[in-house]
């Protein structure tokens, strides 16, 4: 749970006059994550045995600085916003050099009906995935993250998030394509549902992302959850994506999902071909501070290339406090045929990761510290 610093903002008139009338109140929360690790990777790159030592910023979570707030509008209504930027604490640089608030940038209106938001937003798949994986869908060790590669966030997004019902909620998203003469060209449609029923959590999401001419679309489906057995949790995750990828551009994907050819490029535009990712993992609480976990995943390529891959991993988390954690990860990823999957961490940074040759396996180790505020 994040520790947050709250700044209470009151209208100037309230500070200057002792009037009996009630005034709306606003609050702004400043929050963030500092996650730095030392990582080691070894694989075959360019036909040579290659190793890489790197200091990364995206182990269990991508380092970020955020501002979120709400204003009470009265009669049960509220205005909300969230601005969030990713950065690399090892260099001080932005995680994304061509946009400042690269993670989130939206404003919304909420009430008893739920909430409507507009702007750059996280996808349901991104929000749900961490509940389907003992590795939090991050670190070198997450086969679910390394293989599935769902769309994390979308520009020009209009969303509706329902109020809680039966400890569940539904969300709907439509990303405006901004193409003349069509509301579907370059548009992204998403639906997500999650529920917590006692010790059982289940989440599911679907995404359809059209290309600029509405002739191809990326279709992705996620389903999974976890079960709290008392001393830890067991996790299951499933992800499916089609192969109609490379003609999809614009606000849809920068790093699209899909299989990799011998040169590491994405192969797409083959209707009927799919990748299915399966993930199974679990963790165990040794004591209040220490948790260990293990898991693996497998990706099945339905095409004639048969570019499958599998991965097995271990993780140890040690909490120094509610805000500060030490973690260690060891992992082995095995590519088959001409598959070229790699260990990416919470977010991919080229200088911090190797890109294995087609069919080459990879070993990875991480030692990191994560602090939230």
Among 372, 351, 347, residue whose Cα is nearest residue 152: 347
The CA distance from 327 to 370, in Å, is 8
Among 158, 79, 159, 156, residue whose Cα is nearest residue 111: 79
State the DSSP H helix or E strand holding residue 124, giving kind and residue range, or none if neither. Answer: helix 124-129
Q: Judge residue 165's burial from the number of C-beta atoms within 10 Å of its C-beta, 0-12 exposed, 13-18 middle, 19 or more buried.
A: exposed
Among 267, 158, 151, residue whose Cα is nearest residue 209: 151
332 with 40: CB under 8 angstroms? no
Q: Tokens 């209208």 identify what position?
A: 11
Q: Note the pLDDT of residue 312.
A: 98
Among 95, 128, 148, residue whose Cα is nearest residue 348: 95
How does pLDDT run along the chain (373 residues), one tens digit per residue?
A: 443 444 444 343 333 334 344 456 889 999 999 999 999 999 999 999 999 999 988 899 999 999 999 999 999 999 999 999 999 888 888 888 778 898 999 999 999 999 999 999 999 999 999 999 999 999 999 999 998 878 888 889 999 999 999 999 999 999 988 888 888 888 899 999 999 999 999 999 999 988 778 877 888 999 999 999 999 999 999 999 886 654 333 333 333 333 333 334 444 556 678 889 999 999 999 999 999 999 999 999 888 888 899 999 999 999 999 999 999 999 999 999 888 888 988 877 777 888 889 899 999 999 999 999 9
Among 277, 265, 268, residue whose Cα is nearest residue 211: 268
The CA distance from 212 to 227, in Å, is 41
Q: Tokens 């990860």 identify what position?
A: 329
Q: Note the pLDDT of residue 262.
A: 30
User: How many Cα atoms occupy the beta-carbon half-sphere of 337 within 13 Å?
Assistant: 14
Among 271, 285, 286, 277, residue whose Cα is nearest residue 341: 277
Q: Tokens 């209504």 identify what position?
A: 77
327 with 366: CB under 8 angstroms? yes
List phi, psi (to 5°) of 132.
Answer: -115, 15
Distances (CA, A) of 238 to 127, 129, 147, 204: 15, 10, 11, 9
279 with 236: CB under 8 angstroms? yes
What is the model's pTM?
0.86
173 with 188: CB under 8 angstroms? yes
Q: Judge residue 366's burial from the number of C-beta atoms within 10 Å of its C-beta, 0-12 exposed, 13-18 middle, 19 or more buried.
A: buried
371 with 31: CB under 8 angstroms? no
Q: Note the pLDDT of residue 90.
A: 84
Q: What counts of helices (H) and strands (E) characterise the chain?
A: 3, 19
Fold (CATH) for 5-372: Porin (2.40.160)
Q: Note the pLDDT of residue 270.
A: 66
Three-class DSSP category at 283: strand
**Where does 166-269 show beta strands of DSSP type E?**
168-175, 188-197, 200-210, 217-228, 233-242
The CA distance from 231 to 284, in Å, is 6
In the chain, % helix, strand, coil (3-state, to 5) comes to 5, 55, 40
157 - beta bridge partners? 119, 175
Q: What is the CA radius of gyration of the chain?
A: 22
Would you list the domain boundaries of the chain? 5-372
């Amino acid at each position: 749970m994040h520790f947050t610093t709250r700044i209470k903002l009151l209208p100037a008139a309230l500070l200057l006059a002792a009037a009996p009338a009630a005034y709306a109140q606003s609050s702004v929360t400043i929050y963030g994550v500092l996650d730095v690790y030392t990582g080691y990777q070894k694989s075959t790159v360019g036909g040579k045995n290659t190793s890489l030592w790197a200091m990364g910023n995206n182990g269990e979570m991508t380092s970020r600085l955020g501002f979120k707030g709400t204003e009470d509008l009265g009669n049960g209504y509220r205005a909300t916003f969230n601005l969030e930027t990713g950065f690399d604490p090892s260099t001080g640089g932005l995680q994304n050099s061509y946009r400042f608030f690269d993670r989130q940038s939206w404003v919304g209106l909420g009430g008893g009906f739920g909430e409507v938001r507009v702007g750059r937003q996280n996808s349901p798949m991104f929000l749900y995935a961490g509940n389907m994986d003992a590795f939090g869908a991050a670190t070198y060790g997450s086969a679910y993250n390394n293989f599935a590669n769902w769309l994390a966030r979308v520009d020009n997004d209009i969303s509706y998030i329902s109020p809680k019902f039966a400890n569940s909620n539904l969300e709907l998203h439509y990303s405006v394509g901004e193409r003349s003469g069509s509301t579907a060209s370059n548009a992204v449609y998403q639906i997500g549902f999650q529920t917590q029923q006692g010790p059982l959590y289940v989440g599911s999401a679907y995404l359809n992302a059209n290309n600029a001419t509405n002739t191809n679309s990326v279709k992705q489906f996620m389903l999974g959850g976890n079960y709290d057995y008392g001393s830890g949790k067991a996790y299951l995750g499933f992800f499916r994506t089609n192969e109609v990828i490379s003609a999809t551009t614009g606000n849809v994907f920068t790093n699209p999902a899909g299989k990799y050819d011998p040169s590491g490029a994405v192969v797409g535009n083959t209707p009927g071909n799919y990748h299915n990712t399966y993930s199974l993992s679990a963790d165990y609480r040794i004591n209040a501070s220490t948790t260990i976990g293990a898991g693996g995943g497998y990706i099945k390529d339905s095409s004639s290339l048969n570019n499958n891959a599998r991965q097995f991993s271990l993780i140890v988390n040690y909490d120094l406090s509610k805000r500060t954690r030490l973690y260690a990860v060891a992992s082995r990823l095995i590519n088959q045929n001409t598959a070229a999957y790699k260990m990416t961490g919470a977010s991919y940074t080229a200088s911090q990761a190797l890109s294995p040759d087609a069919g080459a396996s990879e070993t990875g180790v991480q030692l990191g510290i994560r602090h939230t505020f």
